[in-house]
Structures are given as structure tokens and as C-alpha cells.
């Protein structure tokens, strides 16, 4: 029997499942293990699954016309990651979803989500709350990018997501914050010097 307790604990504050609903929910879940550098999704292919990170770290990114990688989102333990446009509209993905560390994921398919939305009355509300939280995160990120200096953006990121700073490679954090690795390294060195 596979252990889906992490995802059950994640949704528990938002939904109370009766035994039949819990059985249905568990029946659609799949456990997936991925190695570092392995892709979970790639551009051009339709996103077939919702992805919850039980353990590990992943990123979503695209490659610009200039060949630069632009990191859109990051996920560590107890986070979600994916290409929402591709999943929701069942159209080709625009993002790479790549494991930064060996990771354990829980996934369910698009078809399974439609079944959950139909059969579990509280499930649409849970998904709506999830999308609302994501919209707020995106709004905060846009405001930060438009109103804060690079130093302030990194400071805010480090305070808001300390687990990311400890686990995510510097070049990926730099890509997420919209700056070069060298510039971010300079900012971090200045912070260390200021503390000493």
C-alpha cells in the first residue's frame, strides 16, 4: 500500500472527506519518483497530471529566444507545481518542469480531477482556494519585480522562502528573481559581509 498521508494532510485543513470520498480520492492518486534533472513535463506535450511534491525540489521554467532560462516557479516539500494553462485547457505545455533534487511526487490525471470535481461536493471549493492562493502569490511577485531593487527582491525572497534559499541552487534562484547568477552572488556576499 502506497503512503499518501502527506497529500491527505495537505488537503485536510480545507476539506473533510467521508470514507467513500476518501476512498475515491486515494484511488486516483499515483506515486512517482523522479531523479535530479529528470523532466516531469516538457513544452509541446499536454500536461496530463496535477503534481504535488511530497519530498524533493522542482522548478518550472521556459527558455527565451535568447537561450536564457527563465524560472517561473519553484516547489519543495508540501508544494504544488505544474503548467496550469496546459493542464486546465489540455493544450501543449509551454514550461519545462524539472526535478532539482531526487523527488517523490503524488499525481492525479486530468480525467481523475474531473471525476473528483463531479463526485466530491467540497472539491471544487478546495481547487478554487488553491487557485486564489496562487493568484495572490503571483500578484506579490509581480509587485516585487516592478517595485523593489534586486537587493530588496532577494531579501524578501530569503525571508519568505528560507527553505528555497537552503536547497535551490543559486543560478535557479537568480533566474527566478530575474537577475544573473553573478549579480545574485554579489548581493549574497554583501549580505554576509554586512552581518560580520
Q: Alpha carbon of 169 to those of 58, 76, 77, 184, 195: distances in Å?
A: 11, 13, 16, 11, 22
Confidence at 1, pLDDT banded by 50, 70, 90: low
pLDDT at 189 over 80: yes
Label residues 17-43 b or e (16+ Cβ within 10 Å = b): beeebeebbeeebeeeebeeeeebbee
Query: pLDDT exceeding 90 applies to what percent of the chain?
Result: 87
pTM strictly above 0.85: yes
118-175 pLDDT, tens per residue?
A: 999 999 999 999 889 889 989 999 999 999 999 999 999 999 999 999 899 999 999 9
- The domains found in the chain, sorted by start residue, are 5-121 (2.60.120.10)
62-115 pLDDT, tens per residue?
A: 999 999 999 999 999 999 999 999 999 999 999 999 999 999 999 999 999 999
Query: pLDDT exceeding 70 applies to what percent of the chain?
Result: 99
| Nearest alpha carbon to residue 31 among 2, 1, 59, 58 | 2
User: For residue 2, what pLDDT is reported?
Assistant: 80
125-135 pLDDT, tens per residue?
A: 999 998 898 89
Mean pLDDT, the chain, integer = 94
171-185 pLDDT, tens per residue?
A: 999 999 999 999 999
Amino acid at each position: 500500500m502506497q503512503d499518501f498521508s502527506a497529500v491527505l494532510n495537505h488537503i485536510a485543513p480545507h476539506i473533510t472527506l467521508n470514507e467513500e470520498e476518501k476512498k475515491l480520492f486515494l484511488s486516483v492518486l499515483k506515486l512517482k519518483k523522479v531523479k535530479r534533472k529528470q523532466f516531469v513535463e516538457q513544452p509541446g506535450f499536454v500536461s496530463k497530471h496535477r503534481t504535488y511534491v511530497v519530498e524533493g525540489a522542482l522548478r518550472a521554467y521556459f527558455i527565451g529566444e535568447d537561450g536564457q532560462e527563465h524560472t517561473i516557479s519553484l516547489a519543495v516539500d508540501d508544494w504544488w507545481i505544474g503548467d496550469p494553462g496546459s493542464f486546465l485547457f489540455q493544450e501543449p505545455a509551454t514550461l519545462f518542469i524539472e526535478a532539482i533534487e531526487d523527488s517523490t511526487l503524488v499525481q492525479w490525471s486530468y480525467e481523475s480531477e474531473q471525476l473528483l470535481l463531479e463526485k466530491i461536493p467540497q472539491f471544487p471549493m478546495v481547487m478554487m482556494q488553491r487557485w486564489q492562493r496562487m493568484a495572490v502569490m503571483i500578484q506579490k511577485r509581480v509587485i516585487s519585480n516592478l517595485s523593489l531593487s534586486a537587493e530588496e527582491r532577494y531579501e524578501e525572497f530569503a525571508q519568505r522562502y528560507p527553505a528555497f534559499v537552503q536547497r535551490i541552487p543559486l543560478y535557479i534562484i537568480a533566474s527566478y528573481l530575474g537577475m544573473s547568477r553573478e549579480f545574485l552572488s554579489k548581493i549574497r556576499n554583501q549580505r554576509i559581509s554586512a552581518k560580520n
